[in-house]
């Protein structure tokens, strides 16, 4: 199949699949030939309430009719209300809004350094991150990303970044010295293959950061906003970080990023320290507020736990049936990775699933990734499992 003409003029930063999506409806998207696909990736962990949700559409339309843009030189109601909602729900102290995940992490890196500087700790500049991490594509967030393939050809990256082994408490103990401004970690590493942090590792990170004057940043850009079965991933792990970064699902598809700062971090930024033209614009903030409202109405956390159990059980069965193709599934809530065994390739399974009407993703280390809308039904899960089985059978025959 040839590439869609719509993409001819786009720089080839993505290897796009050969379909053109024209609409979305609930947990499905529809291509230009009218074919429907069950979307078990939800963008990439973005459309938590599914596509074209009426409450999101109404909030966007209403806000677009009222006020699309106002600079951050003035107050406006949607950003103020969203900040208050997120602060109240997280128990943290303040919010900064931007437009994407990578920008939220840039803000966190800058805040951690500025806080240390403001306290007179001039040598406290290092941002410590984990092996396997992914924090975004802008230069600072990229410097905090472990995977070298994302960094190749972009040197020189900003200095002052170091790495410690994911889930290794004694390595972390050795790495957090008084030169460390912050330790940044994903409670569940999505891009590197869906690897879950140990509760003890995150608890140790919290203790060590506090004892040694560093900030603890949880990058919840992929695993937050209800995906793990609670609004914030930190609630699932029982560990309170100093900073949480959010994006992806926050406004159910409209571009927004957020940094939430707790007691130890909240004084890091003063007027003029950081800024953005579009960050916290009225329309994405209105969409995020509608998202929070619908979450509450649906009791989404209970639904996520039920569908997670069902999907884990089904994928467990699939991996047992096709033990030559898969290892056991891993993850939390509705962020699940299914490791693929060589010589089979996750890419080929993803493509075979798409050809059968199921959209899934891949992740590092040869795994397929499931991050469906959080509103999926029992029937959707059964459909996805049947389509996965058909996809695997077709691969085995080749
Ligand atoms: C954990 C994590 N951090 C940061 C990012 C970057 O977010 P964005 O693509 O919105 O810049 C991503 C995106 O996949 C992510 O998964």
Known catalytic residue at 248: yes
Q: Residues 25, 221: contact at Cβ < 8 Å?
A: no
Return mean pLDDT, the chain: 97
Q: Which of 68, 74, 29, 79 is nearest to 52 (CA)?
A: 29
Instruction: Give the ligand 1 atom nearest the CA of 105.
Output: 4
The C-alpha atoms of residue 19 and residue 5 are separated, in whole angstroms, by 11
The mean pLDDT value for 218-234 works out to 98
Nearest protein Cα to ligand 1, atom 4:
135
pLDDT of residue 337: 98
DSSP 158: P
Distance between Cα 320 and ligand 1 center (Å): 32
Q: Which residue has the tokens 């991996």?
A: 319
Is residue 39 part of the annotated active site? The answer reads no
Ligand 1 center to 222 CA (angstroms):
6
The pLDDT of 42-53, averaged and rounded, is: 98
Q: What percent of the chain has a predicted confidence (pLDDT) above 70?
A: 98
Q: At 302, give phi and psi (nearest 5°).
A: -65, -40
Question: Is-catalytic flag, 397?
Answer: no
Residue 274 Cα to chain centre, angstroms: 23
Size of the chain, expressed as the number of residues it contains? 398
Q: What share of the chain in percent tops pLDDT 90?
A: 97
Residue 135 Cα to ligand 1 middle (Å): 6
The alpha carbon of 291 and the centre of ligand 1 are apart by a number of angstroms equal to: 19
CA geometry: angle 142, 264, 195, nearest 5 deg = 40
DSSP string computed for 232-249:
SHHHHHT---SEEEE-GG
- Give the tens place of pLDDT for each residue, 273-328: 999 999 999 999 999 999 999 999 999 999 999 999 999 999 999 999 999 999 99
Residue in 249, 219, 197 with CA at minimum distance from that of residue 372 = 249
From 134, 232, 237, 370, active-site residue: 134
Report the C-alpha gap between 396 and 389 in whole angstroms.
11
Lining residues, ligand 1, CB within 6 Å: 44, 100-102, 105, 134-136, 186, 190-191, 219, 221-222, 247
State which ligand 1 atom lies nearest to the alpha carbon of 257.
Answer: 10
DSSP H or E run through 103: helix 101-118
Q: Of the residues 39, 219, 242, 301, which is catalytic?
A: 219
Domains along the chain with CATH numbers: 5-52+299-397 (3.90.1150.10), 67-297 (3.40.640.10)
Atom of ligand 1 nearest to the CA of 136: 6
| Alpha carbon distance 106, 309 (integer Å) | 35
Mean pLDDT for the stretch of residues 113-129? 98
d(CA 380, CA 60): 27
pLDDT tens readout for residues 63-120: 999 999 999 999 999 999 999 999 999 999 999 999 999 999 999 999 999 999 999 9
Q: What is the pLDDT of residue 398?
A: 66
* CA-based torsion, 387, 368, 219, 273: positive or negative: negative
Q: Which residues contact 144 (CB under 8 A, 6 or more apart)?
A: 105, 109, 127, 129, 133, 135, 161, 184
pLDDT for 277: 98
Residue with tokens 């992740």: 363
Gyration radius of the chain over CA positions: 21
| Beta bridge partner(s), residue 96 | 259
Q: What is the per-residue pLDDT for 396?
A: 84
Looking at residue 132, its pLDDT comes to: 98
Q: Tell me, what's the pLDDT at 2?
A: 44
Contact 241, 262 (CB under 8 A): yes
Provide the pLDDT confidence category of residue 1 given band limits of 50, 70 and 90: very low
Q: Mean pLDDT, to the nearest integer, of 19-43?
A: 98
pLDDT in tens, 134-153: 999 999 999 999 999 999 99
Q: What is the pLDDT of residue 383?
A: 98
Whether omega before 60 lies within 30 degrees of 0, making that bond cis, reads no
Q: Residue 245 Cα, ligand 1 centroid: separation in angstroms? A: 10
CA atoms within 13 A on the CB side of 282: 17
Residue with tokens 């924090």: 135
Buried b (16+ CB within 10 A) or exposed e, 174-202: ebbeebbbbbbbbbbbbbbbbbbbeeebb
């Amino acid at each position: 199949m040839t590439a869609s003409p719509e993409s001819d003029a786009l720089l080839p930063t993505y290897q796009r699949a050969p379909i053109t999506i024209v609409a979305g409806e609930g947990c499905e998207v529809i291509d230009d030939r009218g074919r429907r696909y069950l979307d078990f990736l939800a963008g990439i962990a973005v459309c938590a309430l599914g596509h074209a949700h009426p409450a999101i559409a109404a909030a966007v339309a209403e806000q677009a009719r009222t006020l699309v843009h106002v600079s951050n030189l003035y107050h406006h109601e949607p950003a103020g209300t969203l900040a208050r909602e997120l602060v109240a729900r997280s128990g943290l102290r303040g919010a900064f809004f931007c437009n994407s995940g990578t920008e939220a992490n840039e803000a966190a890196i800058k805040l951690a350094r500025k806080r240390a500087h403001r306290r007179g700790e001039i040598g406290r500049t290092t941002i410590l991150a984990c092996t396997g991490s992914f924090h975004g594509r802008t230069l600072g967030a990229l410097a905090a990303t472990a995977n070298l393939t994302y960094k190749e050809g972009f040197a020189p990256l900003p200095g002052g970044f170091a790495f410690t082994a994911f889930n290794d408490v004694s390595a972390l103990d050795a790495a957090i010295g008084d030169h460390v401004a912050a330790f940044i970690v994903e409670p569940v590493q999505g891009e590197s293959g869906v690897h879950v942090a140990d509760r003890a590792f995150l608890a140790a990170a919290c203790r060590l950061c506090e004892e040694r004057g560093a900030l603890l940043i949880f990058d919840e850009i992929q695993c937050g906003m209800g995906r793990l079965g609670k609004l914030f991933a930190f609630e699932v792990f029982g560990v309170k970080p100093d900073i949480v970064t959010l994006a992806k699902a926050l406004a159910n598809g409209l571009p927004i990023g957020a940094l939430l700062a707790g007691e130890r971090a909240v004084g890091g930024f003063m007027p003029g320290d950081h800024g953005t033209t579009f960050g916290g614009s009225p329309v994405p903030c209105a969409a995020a507020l509608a998202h929070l409202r619908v979450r509450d109405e649906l009791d989404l956390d209970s639904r996520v736990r039920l569908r997670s159990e069902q999907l884990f059980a089904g994928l467990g069965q699939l991996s047992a049936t096709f033990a030559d193709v898969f290892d056991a599934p891993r993850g939390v809530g509705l962020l699940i990775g299914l490791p693929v065994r060589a010589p089979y390739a996750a890419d080929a399974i993803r493509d075979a699933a798409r050809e059968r009407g199921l959209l899934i993703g891949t992740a590092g280390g040869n795994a397929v990734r499931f991050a469906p809308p959080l509103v999926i039904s029992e029937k959707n899960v059964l459909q996805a499992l049947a389509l996965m089985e058909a996809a695997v059978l077709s691969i085995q025959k080749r």
